[in-house]
Amino acid sequence: MVAASAIRIVPPGRPLRGKLELPGSKSITNRALLLAALSKGRSLLTGALKSDDTRYMARALQQMGVQVEEPTETSFVVTGTGALAVPETPLFLGNAGTAVRFLTAAVAARVPGEVVLDGDEHMHKRPIGPLLSALAALGVKASAPTGCPPVTVEGTGHLAGGEVRIDAGLSSQYVSAVLMAAGCADAPVEIALQGSGLDARGYVDLTVATMQAFGGEVQAEDTMRWRVQPKPYVATDFYIEPDASAATYPWAAGVLTGGGIDVGLDPMAFSQPDAKAWQMMTLFPHMPAEIDGSQMQDAVPTLAVLAAFNQTPVRFVGIRNLRVKECDRISAVSTELNRICPGLAREDGDDLIVNGDPTLAGQSRPTRIETYSDHRIAMAFALTGLLIDEITILNPACVGKTWPGYWDALRGLGVELVAE
């Protein structure tokens, strides 16, 4: 973890080439940790991510009686009984959205008592009301007076079956949370979407695949409905693929500098939806006039930084959910791009328009980038410093949420970083 309060990136002035090792997928790691905890027996999770978000999940599971060991830097050994005990203190989950949402549903199904789930000041702004409404249909008593954490769940150790409708307009994680908990229900659960569709559907597909790996019985009946049969999860050894969202940064670094960086896995081989961003990157500096970010939301800040150097403007659509991530990423990206060059970006409703300006490359634009304690803002905007001199990233340690070794990875590619 970086101790400096700021890091200035020195443009390398040459194509970046090389190979680096990506961290494991955060999305898959936290799903696998939970499902292993809900299984009876010992599961070995390899290729796992060790970061703030996954450690919050692991510690919360330990508070509920699950044995979680870390034999290596990329593995967990999880020994579960299929049940979760009442924790003695509230579960503190930082700003880990996956952890707080997945565990809210899981404790409702498996903890026979009251559980409080809380987080930091940023978590207190992340909506959870739609998930609680969905769980209420399955007999769960839970409350969050502000509509955001802290959440109090009055668990019974059981989850009723039946049909539940979920408004997933703000987050696909609500669907994933109910899907995984439904495997522990007393009867089959039918999950149906409210509204016209689901952004970030690929993450729900990840949930289904991980459930099936742990013996869960779940199937998609159509694009708006899933059916889960109650069936005990089975402990298993499980490999976690590298993080596709993390891959977008070295991919973009190679594209921006005219080089190429090998992340150890072909872009088309990822199962995670953010890998789709690679197809847009291959078009740089002639990216399309409109990019639908709905199915690759965490990659949008990276693509927006690329778009800042594109030959023509790019409008990002389908990204309204970015307003309720670790920060309001639409506003943050627009604000910080304009901090570098006034007029470089603007918001249009929930769309983001980036006015490409390839002449920025090679300029000196002394700018201190606010990161809003958001790892993706820090990692994406570090890329601007590969082409523009005097770019400084504030609070660089926030990358520890998903990629603690990010700055070391850049150094490994030959990028000079000056700590301030």
Q: Binding site for 3-phosphoshikimate, residues?
A: 26-27, 31, 171-173, 298, 321, 325
Binding residues: 26-27, 31, 97, 126, 171-173, 298, 321, 325, 329, 376, 401
> How are beta strands 40-46 and 75-81 bridged, if at all?
antiparallel
Q: Are 147 and 135 spatial neighbours (Cβ–Cβ below 8 Å)?
A: no
Q: Which of 293, 292, 302 is nearest to 252 (CA)?
A: 302
Cross-strand bridge partners of residue 77 = 44, 69
Residues 6+ apart with CB under 8 A from 325: 97, 297, 374, 376
Read off the DSSP letter of residue 357: -
- Active-site residue identified among 52, 298, 357, 374: 298
Give the integer Cα–Cα distance in Å for 391 and 398: 17
Give the integer Cα–Cα distance in Å for 15 and 13: 7
The residue type of 113 is G
298 is catalytic: yes
Distance from the first to the final alpha carbon of the chain:
15
Question: Quick one: tokens of 313?
Answer: 């403007």
Question: Quick one: tokens of 145?
Answer: 């007076």
Q: Which residues are tagged catalytic?
A: 298
